[in-house]
């Protein structure tokens, strides 16, 4: 089994515009999506991130806050899953509820795949 | 602002009713290796409730308020301990607690009403694990599932807080070491496991019903907790077994008479002298219903027979009108189920009423070789009674005196003393 990371990007503006009830219902979908993977023993773990960003630029001297132009690329969180192939992982990622709320999911294989 | 007494009594009632359920849910969340953590969260939630309600009044749904508070505290603890080894997050049920994507919803699932009752019953079965001694079982049940303080448990068993703490420690260590997972047993073993749960409940009940201490409040508390525990078994389909109904019926019949068997000074009143108008007719009727429900299926337990005997007593208009014949039949059946010399002794008392002292004496001759009987005050008390009826008062007094030496109970000693006085008059 290989491990893959799903990086969730963007969608913060949509999230912020929703009511608490809508957010709650949306998280229930996340629960079902991740819960199903957990049942199949394919879920490893993950974290959700706050939107505040500090970027330390190459060289290590320049530090900036995030700019609005990057909102769509902002990583909002990640989870790690197990899958046999990249294709399987990609199919699994298509179930992410964030896709309905203008997030994108980037699928990346964890390096190295076997320890 | 609400009067303080009102808040105190509401929270006391709520604490007793809900703390055990919350502890059961939290043990499921944190694991049996973290029972203290679960108990601390419940304690915290109750303290928060008391502090908040003092100023803002009791909310419309205090139970929901408590559960929500405990839930939120549990979330805080999960977040704090996510990277420590305290909680075993490799458990599939707990894995989803580790990510913010799923923490809140997973937590809410744990607190769903339909799971709470099962978790509570699961804890009851876990507490009554065959490898845990009966005294440790009931200590743990009272402390963790009935919301008793260590001090209250100590007072219930007339022992020290230190002893109780040691019992609790041993039980928790057992849970930790064997990673006990609380659950309602599978159908194939539910009967044997329920037997253990019922005998723990009956022990708690008897501690309240028969115990010799004069603290009426503690006694009533123990009785009502035992009935509440039994009722929660009856609330779940999987544990609605005939023997559970039978024990519930038995406890109703006993409780219906509890106020009439002791004077205000704490002296025992014999059945023949009890004021039957004090008996709780509603509770007797309720017990009758439970007894009917206990009659389904093939099972005939000692609880069935004891309940049937108690029912006969409860429904007799007066002592003379007691259906001793019917009661003797139940005692005969009881002796068949378990050959307990104490049952045989009580059977002799029935013979005494039904056929007189000669026959009772013959029957008691048959069992007098049992070792345990000679250490039991009731044997000598009955022998005294038999000889008193045979008008051999000298012998009767001797037996009563021996009986007095064998009981620690003050009310029983007093009762025997009265009999001696009666003989000597």
Whether B10 is in a domain gets the answer yes
Contact: B104, A41; criterion CB under 8 Å:
no
Nearest-Cα residue of chain A relative to residue B98: A45
The rounded percent of chain A whose pLDDT value lies above 70 is 95
Q: Which of A34, A39, A41 sits opposite B102 (nearest CB)?
A: A34
**Residue scoring higher pLDDT (B249 or B370):** B249
Whether B19 is in a domain gets the answer yes
Please tell me the predicted confidence (pLDDT) of residue A97: 96
Q: Which of A34, A39, A41 sits opposite B101 (nearest CB)?
A: A34
Whether B168 is in a domain gets the answer no
- Check residue B143 and report its DSSP letter: I
Whether B201 is in a domain gets the answer no
Whether B26 is in a domain gets the answer yes
* Cα–Cα distance measured from residue A79 to residue A1, given in angstroms and rounded to the nearest whole number: 16
Window 366-425 of B, Cβ < 8 Å to A = none
pLDDT band at B20 (very low <50, low <70, confident <90, very high): very high
* Cα–Cα distance measured from residue B23 to residue B74, given in angstroms and rounded to the nearest whole number: 11
Q: Looking at the whole model, is its pTM more than 0.80?
A: yes
Q: How many domains does chain B have?
A: 1
pLDDT digits (tens, 9 = 90+) for B249-306: 999 999 999 888 888 777 788 888 899 999 999 999 999 999 999 998 888 999 999 9
Please tell me the predicted confidence (pLDDT) of residue B359: 94
Whether B267 is in a domain gets the answer no
Whether B280 is in a domain gets the answer no
Q: Please give the interface size between A and B, counted as residue pairs whose CB atoms are below 8 Å apart.
A: 40
Classify residue B292 as exposed, middle or buried by CB count within 10 Å of its CB (0-12, 13-18, 19+). Answer: exposed
Model confidence at B3: pLDDT above 80:
no
Name every chain B residue with its beta carbon within 8 A of the beta carbon of A11.
Answer: none
Model confidence at B1: pLDDT above 70:
no
Model confidence at B128: pLDDT above 60:
yes
A→B interface, C-beta within 8 Å: 27-28, 30-31, 34-35, 38-39, 41, 43, 45-48, 77, 79
* Cα–Cα distance measured from residue B113 to residue B303, given in angstroms and rounded to the nearest whole number: 31
Domain housing B24: 1-111
Nearest-Cα residue of chain B relative to residue A47: B99
pLDDT digits (tens, 9 = 90+) for A46-84: 999 988 889 899 999 999 887 666 778 889 999 999 999
Name every chain B residue with its beta carbon within 8 A of the beta carbon of A79.
Answer: 99, 101
Measured torsion, CA atoms of residues B370, B374, B375, B378, in degrees rounded to the nearest 10: 100
Residue B105 touches chain A, beta carbons under 8 Å: yes
Contact: A31, B106; criterion CB under 8 Å:
yes
Please tell me the predicted confidence (pLDDT) of residue A69: 62
Whether B316 is in a domain gets the answer no
């Amino acid at each position: 089994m290989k491990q893959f990371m799903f990086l969730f990007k963007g969608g913060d503006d949509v999230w912020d515009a929703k009511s608490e009830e809508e957010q709650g219902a949306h998280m229930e979908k996340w629960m079902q999506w991740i819960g199903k993977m957990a049942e199949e023993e394919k879920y490893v773990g993950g974290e959700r991130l706050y939107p505040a960003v500090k970027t330390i630029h190459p060289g290590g001297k320049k530090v900036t806050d995030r700019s609005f132009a990057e909102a769509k690329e902002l990583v909002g969180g990640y989870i790690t899953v197990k899958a046999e192939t990249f294709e399987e992982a990609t199919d699994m990622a298509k179930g992410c509820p964030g896709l309905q709320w203008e997030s994108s999911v980037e699928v990346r294989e964890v390096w190295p795949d076997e320890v | 602002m609400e009067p303080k007494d009102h808040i105190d009594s509401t929270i006391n009632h709520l604490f007793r009713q809900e703390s055990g359920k919350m502890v059961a849910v939290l043990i499921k969340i944190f694991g049996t290796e973290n029972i203290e953590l679960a108990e601390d969260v419940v304690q915290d939630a109750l303290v928060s409730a008391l502090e908040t309600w003092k100023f803002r009044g009791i909310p419309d749904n205090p139970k929901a308020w408590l559960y929500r508070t405990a839930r939120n505290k549990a979330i805080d603890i999960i977040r704090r301990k996510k990277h420590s080894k305290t909680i075993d997050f490799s458990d599939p049920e707990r894995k989803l607690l580790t990510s913010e994507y799923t923490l809140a919803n997973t937590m809410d699932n744990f607190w769903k009403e339909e799971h709470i009752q099962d978790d509570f019953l699961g804890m009851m079965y876990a507490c009554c694990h065959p490898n845990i001694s009966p005294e440790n079982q009931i200590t743990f049940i009272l402390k963790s599932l009935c919301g008793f303080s260590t001090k209250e448990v100590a007072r219930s068993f007339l022992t020290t807080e230190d002893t109780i703490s040691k019992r609790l420690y041993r039980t928790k260590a057992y849970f930790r070491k064997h990673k006990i997972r609380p659950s309602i047993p599978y159908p194939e073993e539910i009967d044997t496991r329920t037997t253990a749960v019922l005998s723990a409940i009956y022990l708690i009940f008897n501690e309240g019903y028969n115990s010799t201490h004069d603290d009426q409040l503690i006694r009533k508390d123990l009785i009502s907790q035992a009935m509440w525990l039994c009722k929660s078994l009856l609330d779940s389909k999987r544990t609605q077994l005939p023997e559970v109904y039978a024990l519930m019926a038995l406890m109703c019949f006993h409780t219906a008479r509890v106020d009439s068997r002791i004077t205000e000074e704490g002296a025992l009143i014999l059945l023949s002298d009890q004021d039957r108008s004090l008996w709780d007719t509603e509770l007797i009727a309720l017990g009758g219903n439970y007894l009917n429900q206990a009659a389904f299926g093939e099972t005939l337990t000692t609880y069935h027979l004891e309940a049937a005997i108690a029912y006969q007593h409860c429904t007799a208009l007066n002592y003379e009108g007691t259906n001793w014949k019917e009661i003797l039949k139940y005692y005969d059946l009881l002796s068949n189920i378990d050959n307990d010399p104490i049952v045989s002794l009580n059977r002799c008392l029935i013979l005494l009423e039904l056929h007189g002292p000669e026959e009772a004496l013959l029957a008691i001759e048959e069992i007098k070789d049992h070792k345990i009987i000679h250490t039991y005050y009731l044997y000598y008390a009955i022998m005294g009674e038999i000889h008193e009826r045979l008008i051999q008062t000298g012998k009767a007094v001797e037996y009563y005196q021996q009986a007095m030496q064998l009981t620690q109970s003050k009310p029983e000693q007093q009762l025997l003393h009265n009999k001696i006085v009666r003989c000597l008059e």
